[in-house]
Structure 1
């Protein structure tokens, strides 16, 4: 885009106009436009070897006459008038002046050049980087006292109007219509969110699960962002964290963050636009092995990542696996001491993967990874493994003694050291007492406690309960089975005012343990509201599923007068489980001639079908449950052939097969017919094993 080709712009000014137009307006259709400029951003746009601020100010002074007082911008305004009389198919020729005004706003903090509110001396310094004090004061007075900066404010307003007239062709304006700080509010609104902050915001949006639950209101979004960054920068710049708590600029920041959230495409990126991936540590405690895994990301493509660790360079090929939450990887480095203590990073043409070192790693079992895998947060009631650096072993062990449920153990140091280079490993760690956990966190050093995330909710949400009509309504619950409330958890104790149905007020401590709202009933049938952290959550209560209606997927069992029967007419009939429920087990049909559990190693273990339950005589039980972690596949032999059911995702890793393993494979491989695209990989592995 050549913005100055049809106008009589001086050469240096025209080059900057073209660079800025390309940087902020090319290829931005439908996206929010944030014209952020600071010294680092200018260095990316300027010629190599030049001082970016002096280069831009020199270009601007080709049209701006600083010695003409109130009319210093008259030549720029003439160029803008000529543009207004033309086709206006390119941005207005005022971009270098506007960029310089944002540069001044980006340096609005208390320093040697004046108090944080004194914007005009910074703009004067941007115009005249080497100007004497008396000239700087003269320009400052012309900008503020004699009103010449009103011309710059007008340029911002005309840019905003032009973007609106283009209907998103060059992007959507984030310039405020009536900024609270009047004229300087225009550049200030563009100086709050830099490129790295926009990348960090994509992580925040991802944690909010906005693609599934929608975008919160601007006010609620900013409040949740404050919780998210409480005592942890989360990758945001120091300046962004500073302005996030500044009431004077929140009126600018609130709509801007909301615009970015609304336009978010679901991708988590780095500051330079690469997809952000994570190395996560994985452990097999039984076999004493440690390795790296990389969770996949929505829409991610294959890439070749290059990095180095322990003085050795490595190249990792990552490929999305449609059957797994983890990338398929080739060329992963070993888990070395340098990566654990200093971190690990690998960069490709599309993605960048990183591991941030911690002195305390929290791990949960992950079937796709094939072992215990590092995660971001401790979850109530779930079993965890703790990996602890040697210098904090004693304090973490003391915290576990206070907070964890009985039954946790420390792994033999010899085995742990062989796996993880002097790190201690604790297994069987579960938390089911909120007060004890809070007490334990207070015992930890602040640097360590700040990295412990309790729970994963980053916005208030309804959880658990007995939902009805999931196919028709997201938040309808059976009376007596109302939902719990999960509150975002900060690194320090946080009290949240909660309002039920507009008139019942109570303050709750935000913890990883949900607030059991079902205990606050009874609730009348109809709609209820819960207000917390600036958001309003709505749920409905019904005493039954609604007459003769049977939701799709309900079974044939019901409760009537405290007895279980096979009649569908009862007090409670069937159930619809939540989206995440039942993922740990599968239902297998009874009556097979043989049942075999097949492992990733190719080895097969015969499975005895459990006896039918005896607590409900006369009720047919056609299925039995099998935990998914029992193996990779369930093979069932029927009179008409073999049937296979996938238990967990994972590529085959065949080992030596015994005679009964080979007999099972020989029969099943010739008989099984399935559309599961993972099964052919096992057939290929069997064929290779058969030839050995």
Structure 2
């Protein structure tokens, strides 16, 4: 296989449509080359040897990376068509990092990386190749630009980052730190913390938690070798912090496929056990395919029972099911906590007990005495052993466990304690945004402090960098922040290595935006009969890519939806109410040369745009009916300067011929400047627009 073939194969393996909005690591090693090369008939020798020979056709000479960098800049200047021509070269630098000696006592100086790099590239000598420190970082920057800026994360998010301890080679090493199942371990670890992308945790604290989690989980592959080396530890800490900032609550495998949590189900915490799956919002409505049978997931469920034939769950054993679009995992554990599920009508395992709710517990007999002590300290004085159920050999089951507080506990028994060893978090308060920590002044959230180390050490807590806070009592786990944070503005709470931020505002908006219903527009201009409910978005920075965009995203998608789209339906009437953002420039165009511009009577308050919240929308249909001429087209220009036009059929009800104060009449020159510009015609009405510009009947 030549260089172009390897470059294409690696690009398609890592940067594909399935990795949309997912952090992607260019984790190339000899096993991957064997897989890619073995699937291609053009590879006539060992895949690793063939790959090295292909890369050496591009990297050679005294300044080995110069040719590749020049080709990369030409590729970007010419429009960045196709895959970047330098992916195989970056893959070679990662392969060198994968071939480094990972023994704890090995020397990780410049020669431990550059020696395998030079051998791979066929460059004699030792130490850093000429201009490696300037050329290779440029290539990583170009890859980040291509993924994050040019493609808008449609084929993945860039993850390469360096570290002060490994300034030049850290880019490549950061891609080789996590390989194979290690990346799934990171997702499972963050999920066990109850982490979200808004959390700000110090790298050292995050690394310490991860190390302990791996130790108790066991079978952590090469991560033990990574953690045993100081330089690799620092890079892993940076990678964990980066993964936390992008964690959306969905665990993924190395290929970017979702990993769903399997749950044990039972009628009494005893045998026989069944399986349920926890369904994240991102996968509701998809169809799983398990053992050749389709299993559709309804759009409204959080947990769903699986058919009995799909698995034979055994407590304490690992179970994996392949669901085509997702992998289903039941991890190994020594303690299961069951909670009644009113929808499923069964006892279902949960990640951790909740205060005030009744639970049943299944624990290994080895740890039963220790578990009883933990449950009684947590307030479960009414626990009793279950004797009539069919309990598996080597296990003990309890009923009547109702925890009332958080207490120290061994990590293996952590599910018994509410929020055990999770990150500090904000709870309660009058929250004004579902995806941002914005609260109404006077109604700040509470700070929940889960128990940390087994010795019950009390963490250091500070508000806004100076005011020290303390828990009221040793058994309490929350602090009422409303007693300390009263002023509108940004606030920060530091809990040891974790930092939480929130904002207080006097008010959110002048009026309430109600949910609407909209209908898709077909190519013939008619509305589809199936309406879709659209909930008003509270953020213009949403990354949702579901089939039904939020109302705030309707502007760039006018070619798919009725403009703004509040749809009224009754047995005898179906019509649309046209609307637009008050930041859009709206124009009504009548006969050729006749038009008027809408003058908004209100403007959004400055604090609304400062918070990044959507601006208010205005109803245009009533204003169009007040025109002194019959409007034929509605033309909108958004804040980015993009013009869209769609045909309208609104009859004028104004007979005096005067123009309402909300409109300004256009001159003929202004009309031609609008109509003769770059206008996107919606609903497939391009031919009608051309006839309109020529002066013929636009509706002929």
- The interval holding the TM-score normalised by the smaller chain is 0.5 to 0.7
Residue 50 and residue 488 in structure 1: after superposition, are their counterparts in 2 closer, same or farther (change >3 A)? farther
Partner of 1:385, secondary structure, is strand
Residues 581-635 of structure 1: per-residue CA shift (max 9 Å, x gap): xxxxxxxxxxxxxxxxxxxxxxxxxxxxxxxxxxxxxxxxxxxxxxxxxxxxxxx
CA contact (8 A) 2:203 2:238 kept: no
Residue 222 and residue 238 in structure 1: after superposition, are their counterparts in 2 closer, same or farther (change >3 A)? farther
CA contact (8 A) 1:57 1:127 kept: no
Equivalent residue runs for 1:540-619 within 5 Å: none
Question: 2:172 — aligned with what?
Answer: 187
Q: Distance in 2 between matches of 1:286 and 1:175?
A: 46
**Aligned with 1:58 (options 37, 42, 53):** 53
In structure 1, runs of 5+ residues without a counterpart are 1-10, 307-314, 553-692
**Aligned with 2:260 (options 277, 288, 292):** 277
Question: 1:429 — aligned with what?
Answer: 401
CA contact (8 A) 2:100 2:116 kept: no
Shift of 1:537: 3.5
Residues 460-497 of structure 1: per-residue CA shift (max 9 Å, x gap): 22235x64889999534768x97243347467756532
Shift of 1:16: 1.8
**Aligned with 2:427 (options 451, 463, 483):** 463
CA contact (8 A) 2:353 2:415 kept: no
Question: 1:690 — aligned with what?
Answer: none
Does structure 1 residue 320 correspond to structure 2 residue 297? yes
CA contact (8 A) 1:475 1:539 kept: yes
Equivalent residue runs for 1:206-217 within 5 Å: 215-217=198-200
CA contact (8 A) 2:162 2:170 kept: no
CA contact (8 A) 1:230 1:491 kept: no
Shift of 1:260: 5.1
Q: Distance in 2 between matches of 1:202 and 1:226?
A: 16
Q: Distance in 2 between matches of 1:401 and 1:254?
A: 37
CA contact (8 A) 1:325 1:368 kept: no
Residues 628-663 of structure 1: per-residue CA shift (max 9 Å, x gap): xxxxxxxxxxxxxxxxxxxxxxxxxxxxxxxxxxxx
CA contact (8 A) 1:484 1:516 kept: yes
Question: 1:497 — aligned with what?
Answer: 460
- Matched length: 496
Does structure 1 residue 535 correspond to structure 2 residue 526? no
Equivalent residue runs for 1:30-69 within 5 Å: 32-47=23-38, 51-64=46-59
Equivalent residue runs for 1:99-498 within 5 Å: 99-111=91-103, 115-125=106-116, 127-128=118-119, 139-141=124-126, 143-144=127-128, 147-148=129-130, 150-151=131-132, 153-161=134-142, 164=145, 167-169=149-151, 173-176=158-161, 181-194=166-179, 196-203=181-188, 215-217=198-200, 220=202, 223-224=205-206, 226-227=208-209, 230-232=212-214, 238-239=221-222, 248=231, 267-285=250-268, 290-298=273-281, 299-300=283-284, 301-306=286-291, 318-332=295-309, 339-397=314-372, 399-400=374-375, 404-412=379-387, 415-416=388-389, 418=390, 420-421=392-393, 423-432=395-404, 434=406, 437-438=407-408, 441=409, 448-449=412-413, 454-455=418-419, 458-464=422-428, 467=430, 474-476=438-440, 483-487=446-450, 489=452, 495-498=458-461
Shift of 1:427: 0.6
CA contact (8 A) 1:324 1:368 kept: no
Residues 383-416 of structure 1: per-residue CA shift (max 9 Å, x gap): 321112344444434555665532111111xx33
Question: 1:98 — aligned with what?
Answer: 90
Partner of 1:462, secondary structure, is strand
Question: 1:5 — aligned with what?
Answer: none
Q: Distance in 1 between matches of 2:5 and 2:473?
A: 54
Q: Distance in 1 between matches of 2:317 and 2:431?
A: 49
Residues 42-82 of structure 1: per-residue CA shift (max 9 Å, x gap): 333222596443332233344555xx6x4556776786688
Q: Distance in 2 between matches of 1:183 and 1:84?
A: 23
Residue 389 and residue 256 in structure 1: after superposition, are their counterparts in 2 closer, same or farther (change >3 A)? closer
Q: Distance in 2 between matches of 1:369 and 1:327?
A: 8
In structure 2, runs of 5+ residues without a counterpart are 515-700
Partner of 2:343, secondary structure, is coil
CA contact (8 A) 2:391 2:397 kept: no
Q: Distance in 2 between matches of 1:22 and 1:222?
A: 35
Residue 362 and residue 230 in structure 1: after superposition, are their counterparts in 2 closer, same or farther (change >3 A)? same
Q: Distance in 1 between matches of 2:183 and 2:473?
A: 28
CA contact (8 A) 1:526 1:540 kept: yes
Residues 541-562 of structure 1: per-residue CA shift (max 9 Å, x gap): 99xx99xx9xx9xxxxxxxxxx
Partner of 1:386, secondary structure, is strand
Shift of 1:498: 1.0
Q: Distance in 2 between matches of 1:376 and 1:468?
A: 25
Structure with more helix by fraction: 1
Does structure 1 residue 515 correspond to structure 2 residue 475? no
CA contact (8 A) 2:206 2:237 kept: no
Shift of 1:208: 7.0
Residue 483 and residue 280 in structure 1: after superposition, are their counterparts in 2 closer, same or farther (change >3 A)? same
Partner of 1:55, secondary structure, is helix
Question: 1:628 — aligned with what?
Answer: none
Q: What RMSD in Å do the two structures reach over aligned CA positions?
A: 4.9
Q: Distance in 2 between matches of 1:168 and 1:235?
A: 41
Q: Distance in 2 between matches of 1:183 and 1:395?
A: 50
Residue 419 and residue 80 in structure 1: after superposition, are their counterparts in 2 closer, same or farther (change >3 A)? closer
Residue 224 and residue 385 in structure 1: after superposition, are their counterparts in 2 closer, same or farther (change >3 A)? same
Partner of 1:279, secondary structure, is strand
Shift of 1:305: 1.9
Residue 509 and residue 57 in structure 1: after superposition, are their counterparts in 2 closer, same or farther (change >3 A)? farther
Q: Distance in 2 between matches of 1:152 and 1:366?
A: 57
Question: 1:18 — aligned with what?
Answer: 8
Q: Distance in 1 between matches of 2:386 and 2:370?
A: 17
Q: Distance in 1 between matches of 2:373 and 2:193?
A: 33
Q: Distance in 2 between matches of 1:351 and 1:71?
A: 45
Q: Distance in 2 between matches of 1:512 and 1:278?
A: 32
Partner of 2:306, secondary structure, is strand
Shift of 1:303: 1.9
TM-score, normalised to structure 1, is: 0.58
Q: Distance in 2 between matches of 1:43 and 1:505?
A: 57
Q: Distance in 1 between matches of 2:243 and 2:464?
A: 31
CA contact (8 A) 2:269 2:360 kept: no
Shift of 1:226: 4.8
